[in-house]
Amino acid sequence: MSEVLSVKNLNKKFGKKQVLFDVSFDIEEGEILGFIGPNGAGKTTTIKLILGLQSINSGEVYINGIDMKKDFVKAIEKVGAIVESPDMYMYLSGRKNLELVARMYENVDEERIDEVIKITGLENRINDKVSKYSLGMRQRLGIAAALINRPNLLILDEPTNGLDPEGIKELRDLMVDLAKKEKIAILISSHNLAELESFCTDVCIIKNGKIITTSSMKKMKRGETTSYLIEVSNIEKALKVDKKLSKEDDTHIKITCDKKEISEIIKKLIKEVDIYEVRLFEKSLEEAFFEKAGGNIID
């Protein structure tokens, strides 16, 4: 895998107030990075710096290995983005909107327009006026416009705002397809942690303008140690088998140990109780977020 976006030690001030402090993270091709944090933490500011919509006080942004400060046009040419709501001409059809966007780039022909229409699943409604689109369809059209220049980096700021569950699912499925099939690196900022948990490969937490942690989604949910949940027929009997075992709920016990040790524990348990399930213990992304960030507080 190759690094598509590299953000190094970004700092940003508005007047005398510093809002970003040495923000750093990377995204490789095919990865979907969930960028999360409380309101006012610096998510949108970071995205605007990456896209050149605001000036960087210090730090570096590399896209496909190109330093944005040295060659902004070359760096940004393989980037697609939606910051807040996508702008559309409501009285025009979806296709006409895409044709207008296509004129901004070289080498974007009708074939490419047809490709992005198919990728985003808009074939059946692309000739309808955008005013007749649902919010989810407008988001899809916005993503189609962001994809028109064949980017390998897609940046989305709160793309699920206002979407119903069906629209959110459609957007999620589209993101997964783009990452897997098109090998696009995706940076997505959202407050919908449960939804990000379902499709992001990695997660980066920012609070008060500082990166708290960046890791794979699996590592974030499992924590620093490996724990297992075991569903048993009799909790009290099971707890007597080993001092490391603890009660999780009325039917599950929990233990923190490595793979070799869990095998030995299972052998002991099976002599005393029936075992119905053994699985890795994982926190939800929301639980992991509050554990790392310490709540929805801006200092």
Q: Tens digit of pLDDT for each residue in 238-262?
A: 998 988 888 888 899 898 888 788 8
- Separate counts of helices (H) and strands (E) for the chain: 11, 14
pTM for the whole structure: 0.83
Q: How far apart are CA 203 and CA 217, in angstroms?
A: 6
Do 167 and 233 belong to one domain?
A: no
Same domain, 181 and 91: yes
147, 78 contact by CB (below 8 A) = no
The residue out of 221, 247, 271 marking a domain boundary is 221
Residues 110, 230, single domain; the answer is no
Q: Which residues contact 225 (CB under 8 A, 6 or more apart)?
A: 256
Burial 253-277 (b: 16+ CB within 10 A, else e): bebbbeeeebeebeeebeeebeeee
Whether 157 and 253 map to the same domain: the answer is no
Q: For the segment 127-161, what is each residue's pLDDT rounded down to a tens digit?
A: 999 999 988 888 889 989 999 999 999 999 888 77
Least confident of 14-23, 71-80, 156-165: 156-165
Q: Are residues 160 and 257 in the same domain?
A: no
Q: 34 and 141: one domain? A: yes
CATH number at residue 250: 3.30.70.1150
Q: What is the pLDDT of residues 166-225, one digit of tens each?
A: 878 888 888 899 899 889 999 999 888 888 888 999 999 999 999 999 999 988 887 767
| DSSP string over 79-136 | EEEEESSPP--TTSBHHHHHHHHHTTSTT--HHHHHHHHHHTT-TTTTTSBGGGS-HH
The structural domain count of the chain equals 2
Q: 67: domain CATH number?
A: 3.40.50.300
Q: Do 64 and 164 lie in a common domain? A: yes
- CA angle centred on 61, ends 55 and 64, rounded to 5°: 135
Q: What is the per-residue pLDDT for 43? A: 93
Residues 203, 232, single domain; the answer is no
Tell me how far CA of residue 220 lies from CA of 214, 250, 290, 292, in angstroms.
8, 26, 12, 9
Structural domain range at position 10: 3-221
- Residue 225 confidence (pLDDT): 73
119/237 same-domain check: no
